[in-house]
């Protein structure tokens, strides 16, 4: 039983390591969290996307399309904490059976006359939903590194939304490089560890010497 307990502890530590790293997959430090206000959600609901112009590629149409923007709060970006990412979590409800599809841009208001820097944010979609079904979708912006310390504003723009109502949008800002997963830290050694654990279980149950307690 002592051997089995030791193996159980090893497996628990292994799982805990994976779980802990999952919390930091977006970055090293959670800088701040925001909730898009209700009045902005109403504007998103009422927004009508612009039509694609003849000759435009899908990418050009997405980048040049009219948008409804939310200019969020500002943060103090520390150039020693690069890179920065914006994580958006959308909570919605499907209007009809089918896919809930949306297209967004996320980025930064750089201030100081430098304008904004935005990139497309894919991933805020869900497929094969039933009418009235609630869903949650999360997407991450491209990372950005700031050459100097500066105050920057978070920007989120809606370009298109089909077949869902928006119940809420949460925005988080992360900085730094997230901890590698427990598996990637140990690389090939991970598979050796798994093999050793499996061999230990096999030995305990099938090949260990018989004792009086087994009779």
The pLDDT of residue 18: 45
Tens of pLDDT, residues 127-143: 999 999 999 999 999 99
User: pLDDT for 43-87, tens place per residue?
Assistant: 999 998 777 667 666 666 666 678 999 999 999 999 999 999 999
- Predicted model pTM: 0.71
Q: Produce one character per residue of 184-211: b if its CB has 16 or more CB atoms within 10 Å, e if not.
A: eeeeeeeeeeeeeeeebeeeeeeeeeee
Lowest-confidence region among 20-34, 70-84, 107-121, 158-172: 20-34
CA distances from 119 to 96, 157, 180, 199 (A): 29, 10, 25, 49
Asked if pLDDT for residue 171 goes beyond 50, the answer is yes
> Average pLDDT, whole number, for the chain?
80
With a cut of 70, say whether residue 106 has pLDDT above it.
Answer: yes
Share of the chain above pLDDT 90, in %: 57
How remote is the C-alpha of 124 from its chain's centroid?
10
Residue 35 has pLDDT above 80, yes or no: yes
- 212 C-beta neighbours (distance < 10 Å), count: 5
DSSP conformational letter for 111:
-
Kind of pairing between the strands at 84-94 and 134-140? antiparallel
> Residue 205 pLDDT > 80, yes or no?
no
Residue 57: predicted pLDDT: 67
Lowest mean pLDDT across 18-27, 29-38, 186-195: 186-195
Predicted local distance difference test score (pLDDT) of residue 203: 57
Higher pLDDT, 44 or 17: 44
What is the pLDDT at residue 60?
61
What token pair was written down for 49? Answer: 């996307």
Asked whether residue 213 carries a pLDDT value surpassing 90, the answer given is no
- Give the pLDDT band of residue 155 (cuts 50, 70, 90): very high
């Amino acid at each position: 039983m002592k051997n089995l307990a030791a193996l159980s502890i090893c497996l628990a530590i292994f799982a805990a390591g994976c779980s802990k790293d999952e919390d930091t997959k977006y970055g090293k430090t959670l800088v701040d969290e925001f909730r898009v206000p209700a009045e902005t959600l109403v504007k998103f609901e009422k927004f009508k996307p612009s039509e694609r112009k003849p000759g435009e590629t899908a990418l050009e149409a997405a980048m040049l399309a009219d948008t409804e923007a939310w200019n969020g709060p500002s943060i103090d970006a520390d150039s020693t904490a690069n890179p920065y990412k914006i994580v958006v979590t959308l909570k919605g409800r499907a209007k009809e059976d089918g896919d809930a599809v949306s297209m967004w841009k996320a980025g930064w208001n750089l201030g100081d006359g430098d304008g904004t820097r935005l990139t497309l944010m894919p991933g805020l979609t869900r497929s094969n939903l039933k009418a009235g079904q609630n869903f949650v979708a999360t997407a991450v912006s491209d990372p950005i590194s700031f050459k100097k310390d500066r105050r920057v504003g978070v920007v989120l723009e809606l370009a298109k939304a089909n077949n869902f109502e928006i119940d809420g949008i949460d925005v988080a800002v992360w900085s730094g490089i997230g901890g590698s997963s427990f598996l990637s830290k140990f690389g090939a050694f991970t598979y050796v560890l798994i093999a050793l654990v499996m061999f230990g279980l096999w030995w305990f149950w099938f090949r260990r010497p018989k004792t009086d307690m087994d009779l």
